[in-house]
Amino acid sequence: MIREGAGFRELPPAAIVPEPGTSLKNKTGSWRIFRPVVDREKCSKCRICWLLCPEGCKIELEDCFETDLDYCKGCGICAQECPYKAIEMVLEEGSSIA
Amino acid sequence: MSIKLSELPAEDYFLPGHRACAGCGAAIAIRLILKVAGPNTIVASATGCIEVISSLYPENAWGVPWIHTAFENAAATASGVEAAYKVLRRKGKISHDKVNFLAIAGDGGTADIGIQALSGMAERGHNVKYICYDNEAYMNTGIQRSSSTPYGAWTTTSPPGKAIPIGKREVKKDVARIMVAHGIPYVATASIGYPLDLMRKVKTALEIEGPAYIHVHTPCPTGWRFESNKTIEVARLAVQTGMWVLYEVKQGRLRITYKLSKLKPVEEYLRTQGRFSHLTDDDIAKIQEDVRKRFEEFVEGYRQLGVSVEA
């Protein structure tokens, strides 16, 4: 792991990042204005939301797909594409739209 | 060969935390492509949206080895990696089997800046699968037109005004057709509106030895001016109106993979996007006429390239 505030002598050459997937540190959920809320009764686990999520942040649970709110940017594709209309986009607390 | 949604692996190799805009079409495409390619893959990426959003140092969103290269040479870098792999295998220095080599670039890095490296890769016959994610302009630098921007689109460098009311005056460059003319084993167009078709095409490309080219239509909410939840819908409409044709040319045989008995009016597609909001009814009629003509002459055009056509 590259240490925060590391000087150039400590860094690997050629701007190499020696580990995969270090972007997981960057919690993009803070961008969200609308939050997807799933109706567990309606979800049939068809995997469409999981397939089409640009973040890949849909998590399979026993009875439905939930959203990893650490990363969900609230684009709303899952709610739009859900064939069962099981997902609703709800305004985040503290957010407002003009 | 088909891909089943229920059988897709849970693992991702394009990971969350990347900084794509909400609703990014290109991010969906890359995630699905890497799902098919799997962990035994090396990717070379040209500068562009996908590179910028996935590799803010010291972070990276890749679960496979990934090289960022300059704007013009994703194909050349991937060619070099593939050639080095072959040499190291021959000398017995590595034992990895069946490594997939991907070059990934946007439409700017493919149709404008990277086309000579791409052409060279195809001509030399490297076993590299080249993916172009086409969001139809230079998006991450602020929506400048590329040669892949369609006729009539607004961009910051093709603004409609008094002198040029149409926006972009030139038609979209057909890179897939240029690649068919190279005579490489596999060329396909795909769309994120048809994700399983896209994934099947990637799988097919990976199974064929030699160069392959896949051109993926990836709508961009930021640059095309539509709501972020409409990405897939816009992608589907492009195919259903005939603005984007899904086909593959495998070993010299053309197959249209999404056959339309009837085109939807292009207006349905154009009116979903702010970048076309300046178009008049006459402009739309002209685009409709162009699409109809292209559709009618599509198969004949490929016959002229020496491609046989599957019914």
CATH code of the domain containing A66: 3.30.70.20
A51/B231 CB distance under 8 A: no
Gap between the Cα atoms of B112 and B110, Å rounded: 6
Mean pLDDT of B172-187: 96
CATH 3.40.50.970 correct for B5-309: yes
For residue B57, CA distances in Å to A14, A19, B42, B48 come to 11, 12, 19, 15
Give per-residue pLDDT as tens, B1-32: 789 999 999 999 999 999 999 999 999 999 99
Mean pLDDT of B112-125: 97
**A69 in a domain, yes or no?**
yes
Q: Does B230 contact A at CB distance below 8 Å?
A: yes
Q: Is the pLDDT of residue A73 over 70?
A: yes
**A77 in a domain, yes or no?**
yes
Q: Which residues contact B311 (CB under 8 A, 6 or more apart)?
A: none
Q: Please give the pLDDT value at position B158.
A: 97
Pick from A2, A51, A95 the residue to mutate for testing the B interface (most B CBs within 10 Å).
A51
Q: How many residues does chain B have?
A: 311
**A70 lies in which domain range?**
40-92
Give, in degrees to the nearest 5, the angle at Cα A28 between B20 and A35: 105
Residues of B in contact with A48 (CB under 8 A): 5
Q: Does A25 contact B at CB distance below 8 Å?
A: yes
Give per-residue pLDDT as tens, B42-95: 999 999 999 999 999 889 999 999 999 999 999 999 999 999 999 999 999 998
The answer to whether A3 and A25 have CB atoms below 8 angstroms apart is no
B231/A74 CB distance under 8 A: no
The answer to whether A22 and B56 have CB atoms below 8 angstroms apart is no
Pick from B7, B51, B57 the residue to mutate for testing the A interface (most A CBs within 10 Å).
B57
B195/A71 CB distance under 8 A: no
Mean pLDDT of A68-92: 97
Q: Please give the pLDDT value at position B260.
A: 86
Total number of domains in chain A: 1
Q: Which long-range contacts (CB under 8 A, 24 or more apart) does B302-306 make?
A: B302/B177, B302/B180, B302/B249, B302/B254, B305/B177, B305/B180, B305/B181, B306/B183, B306/B252
Give per-residue pLDDT as tens, B229-282: 999 999 999 999 999 999 999 999 999 999 888 899 999 999 999 999 999 999
**A52 in a domain, yes or no?**
yes
Q: Please give the pLDDT value at position A51.
A: 97
**A2 in a domain, yes or no?**
no
Q: For residue A6, what is the nearest residue in chain B, using CA coordinates?
A: B58
Does the complex come out with an ipTM higher than 0.90? yes
Pick from B34, B231, B236 the residue to mutate for testing the A interface (most A CBs within 10 Å).
B231
Q: Please give the pLDDT value at position B311.
A: 64
**Where does the pLDDT of residue B160 fall: very low under 50, low under 70, confident under 90, or very high at 90 and above?**
very high
**A78 in a domain, yes or no?**
yes
Size of interface A-B (CB pairs under 8 A): 113
**A33 in a domain, yes or no?**
no
Q: Does B70 contact A at CB distance below 8 Å?
A: no
